[in-house]
């Protein structure tokens, strides 16, 4: 961020950084609220999460318009251009994270009158916390431009996947124990999957942050993936 | 695409269009193959779909690099800039469609030794065909720059959602009938969800195509959404 003669360009980039930071914290709060609403069957809180999604959509459009104006007006080269294009991509991932939090919140209505199996809440709470921490961290690392902090973040994402696979197995067991668990557990399965997908978007953000800071891409194959596709069928 | 004095710019844009077209047809073929592999329990075909995903990743990177080079070298304004930025977004959606087809294919291994409920294959086949047609159509409309054809496409996407909701209900019923159906049906549920998500990405592509052609955004709220979150629990 140093060495520009046109300091107003730095101001333009700074404004984009602030939108990314705001979107990051806002979406992380949405994830927290969605999981809390799910665990407590709190329909009112869930409805707020659903409504909040529009805020992220608006901020994403704002960022896109600013980014395009910057490209058109300043015609940035190399690193500056990467920062602008990378920010467009990050905003897109953050907007998707908001969508996924909204999807979790929308299932709260379906689950309200069902009973989630006891003992399950701890697993999903742990997964929600992991995802929330990863999201806050990647945004902080990006704002501070600490590229060397991004690689451990990607490895840590595997913890989310391990947790997701454990939840997947756990929910299948509950469904087999009692058919009345099938509908609520199916909704919970999608909630867990949404958290896992939020983890994927965090990985995308980490990749874009790396690209912005270094100009090179992290390897194409992310270490993480949903392993439940290869779980040996239990029934 | 008319009236440029620098005709090599049109050539640059044409090259980007060709990548979008190739990625579109390639990802549509992956969707077809993934659903066919699922219906026939064809593990070899599924493995080809998983391997094919790398092709889309490579093409997306190629498009991104070309797009950034065009912006840096030609400094396009207004409509041309929109076309380049819009193409970056479309390629990102197409790459995600490939990921989702790959996710379907990965479940074939898990399902191989299970038995999918009879009668179910028709529902998922229909959904796969709908998604495939929508994807082919949006790419054709974009390449032909027929903006007026995009709105009916968005409305048609509701058919995919209706089909998905029907499949969701159907699978819950199978799971309740026999606990041995729970594991295979859970995998099939995710496959159907992946098809529904591919439909979402097709909608994103339609929105970006509209933006490229007209300079304005389609309304923020898409008409489509997963309605299974509000299905009254059956058990």
Residues present in chain B in total: 235
Give the distance, in angstroms, between the CA of residue B141 and the centroid of all CA atoms in the same chain.
15
Cross-chain CB nearest to B72 (options A54, A58, A77): A77
CA A180 to chain B, closest CA, distance in angstroms equals 5
Cα–Cα distance list, B226 to B54, B90, B162, B190 (Å): 29, 22, 9, 13
Cα–Cα distance list, A121 to A37, A65, A115, A181, A192 (Å): 12, 41, 11, 14, 11
* Under 8 Å between Cβ of A211 and A82: yes
Phi, psi of B114, rounded to the nearest 5 degrees: -90, 170
Cross-chain CB nearest to A81 (options B57, B61, B71): B71
Q: Determine the pLDDT at residue A52.
A: 97
Size of the A and B interface in Cβ pairs below 8 Å: 126
Mutate to test the interface with A, among B43, B82, B117, B175 (most CBs of A within 10 A): B175
Q: Determine the pLDDT at residue A121.
A: 81
Average pLDDT score over residue span A76-91: 86
Q: Which residues of A touch B175 (CB under 8 A)?
A: 175, 179, 182, 186
Nearest Cα to Cα of residue A121 among A177, A38, A193: A38
CATH superfamily for domain A7-230: Phosphate transport system protein phou homolog 2; domain 2 (1.20.58.220)
> Is the complex ipTM higher than 0.90?
no
pLDDT digit string, tens, across residues B91-124? 999 999 999 999 999 999 888 666 666 677 888 9
With the CA atoms of A106, A57, A201 and B111 taken in that order, what torsion angle do they form, in degrees rounded to the nearest 10? 40
- CA-to-CA distance for B168 and B173, rounded, in angstroms? 9
User: Across the interface, do B172 and A180 touch by the CB < 8 Å criterion?
Assistant: no
**Highest mean predicted confidence (pLDDT) among A116-130, A207-221, B166-180:** B166-180
Average pLDDT score over residue span A214-224: 64
pLDDT digit string, tens, across residues A106-160? 999 888 666 666 677 888 999 999 999 999 999 999 999 998 888 888 777 888 9
Cα–Cα distance list, A10 to A26, A74, A84, A203 (Å): 24, 11, 11, 26
Q: Determine the pLDDT at residue A109.
A: 84
Has residue B209 got a pLDDT over 90? yes
Would you call B10 exposed, middle or buried from its count of C-beta atoms within 10 A (0-12, 13-18, 19+)?
middle
Mutate to test the interface with B, among A37, A186, A196 (most CBs of B within 10 A): A186
Cross-chain CB nearest to A226 (options B103, B114, B232): B103
The pair of structure tokens assigned to B12 is: 């640059």
* Under 8 Å between Cβ of A53 and A30: yes
């Amino acid at each position: 961020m140093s060495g520009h003669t046109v300091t107003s360009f730095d101001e333009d980039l700074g404004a984009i950084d602030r939108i990314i930071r705001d979107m990051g914290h806002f979406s992380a709060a949405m994830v927290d609220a969605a999981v809390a609403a799910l665990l407590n069957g709190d329909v009112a809180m869930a409805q707020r999460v659903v409504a909040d999604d529009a805020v992220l959509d608006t901020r994403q459009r704002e960022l896109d318009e600013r980014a395009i104006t910057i490209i058109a007006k300043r015609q940035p080269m190399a690193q500056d251009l990467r920062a602008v294009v990378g920010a467009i991509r990050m905003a897109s991932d953050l907007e998707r994270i908001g969508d996924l939090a909204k999807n979790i919140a929308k299932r709260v209505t379906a689950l309200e009158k069902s009973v989630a199996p006891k003992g399950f809440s701890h697993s999903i709470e742990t997964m929600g916390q992991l995802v929330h921490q990863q999201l806050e961290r990647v945004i902080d690392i990006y704002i501070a431009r600490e590229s060397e902090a991004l690689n451990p973040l990607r490895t840590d994402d595997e913890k989310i996947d391990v947790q997701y696979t454990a939840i997947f197995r756990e929910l299948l067991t509950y469904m087999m124990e009692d058919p009345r668990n099938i509908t609520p557990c199916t909704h919970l399965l999608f909630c867990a999957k949404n958290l896992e997908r939020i983890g994927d978007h965090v990985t995308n953000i980490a990749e874009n942050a790396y690209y912005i800071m270094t100009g090179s891409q992290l390897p194409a194959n992310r270490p993480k993936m949903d392993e439940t596709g290869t779980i040996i069928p239990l029934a």
